[in-house]
Amino acid sequence: MNQPPTYRAMLATAAGKLTLVERPLPAPGHGQVRIRVEACGVCHSDSATVERATVEGPHLVPGHEVVGRIDALGEGVSGWTLGQRVGVGFLAGEDGSCPSCRHGDTVNCSNPVITGMTTDGGYAEAMIAEARGLVRIPEALASVEAAPLLCAGLTTFNALRNAGARAGDLVAIHGLGGLGHLAVQFARKMGFHTVAIARGADKAPLAREMGAHHYIDADTENVAEVLRGLGGAHIILGTAPTGKGMAELVPALRARGKLIVVAVPQDALPINAVDLIFGGRSVVGALTGTVADNEETLAFAGLQGVHPLIETFPLEQAQHAYDRMMRADVRFRAVLVMNTSQP
């Protein structure tokens, strides 16, 4: 009897540990598709799966910035075809019945399908995905570039376009890493007066290359004073995972300005209530977006020439890629590459 076809996957088998395994190729269930993965971004949010893994299990495959081609359709799936290139982001399905979903706010579903966290993700040669969570990938966009845009790109793009700022308003991007380098590009392409904030004079050329009009070195300058000198920020997007660093920028907001938090710091944000009350400033969070938002992110990136800076790794080097990402030693998004012989 012939053995069933198999695929390779990286499982989170202990805290911080990924193990390469070979599994039988699964068939998609009702409303699902099977994807032959071509690229999968390595995102800091993957640590929620990898760092919490235990030897006892259950062992999941991380990865929620997935691009590949459909190679099997489950029952009840329509509108998708075999060989079609698709993406799967962080939120890959909703329950449709919780209070948020019933009010049309599927992003804040109480029981979502989260790729690589509640179901196996894209650190693999194949994965099963809910058809309702698929994203169409423009053919002009390479898989390795599309992958980081499905999470890091979507998060920053959606936060900025929904911030309430208008063209010409001063928008500051706090951090110039995996999220920040994309946020600077999006902010500039949206027509904002774009300011990048990071540590070290060596990052100034990159900030300008990404499109920043101004660069503030947090090591040598008082960031809040510089921003106030520019008239104050309408929006500050917090992409660097430091609660203290973000909180220190609240006084740099102009009246009615907003600090939008998209990075998740380990420390608290020590906000002074006086800075909020006088000036009517606010601090809000922003979480990813819908499938339609994701497709609009990709379309805008293609239209305006927004590109992630990436380093690629083969699947078997996923542990190395993950460890480097956790050390902030990747410039700037790590992407696993699989099935390179596929059309």
Domain boundaries, the chain: 6-150+294-337, 163-285
Report the alpha-carbon distance of residue 122 to residue 100 in Å, rounded.
27
In DSSP terms, which residues pair with 31 in a beta bridge?
none
For residue 309 the two structure tokens come to 């800076």
Looking from the CA of 108 toward its CB, the CA atoms found within 13 Å total 9
Nearest alpha carbon to residue 128 among 27, 4, 214? 27
Report the alpha-carbon distance of residue 11 to residue 61 in Å, rounded.
5
Report the alpha-carbon distance of residue 251 to residue 136 in Å, rounded.
41
Contacts of 212 (CB under 8 A, 6+ apart): 173, 184, 188, 194, 195, 196
Q: What is the pTM of this model?
A: 0.95
* Class in CATH terms, 163-285: alpha beta
Identify whether the C-beta of residue 232 lies closer than 8 Å to the C-beta of residue 257. yes
Tens-place pLDDT, residues 280-319: 999 999 999 999 999 999 999 999 999 999 999 999 999 9
Q: Does domain 6-150+294-337 have CATH number 3.90.180.10?
A: yes
For residue 319 the two structure tokens come to 């542990």
Burial of residue 37, with CB atoms counted within 10 A of its CB: 0-12 exposed, 13-18 middle, 19 or more buried: buried
Backbone angles phi, psi at 66, to 5 degrees: -110, 135
Tens-place pLDDT, residues 227-266: 999 999 999 999 999 999 999 999 999 999 999 999 999 9
Q: Which of 6-10, 36-40, 338-342 has the lowest mean pLDDT?
A: 338-342
pLDDT at 341 over 60: no
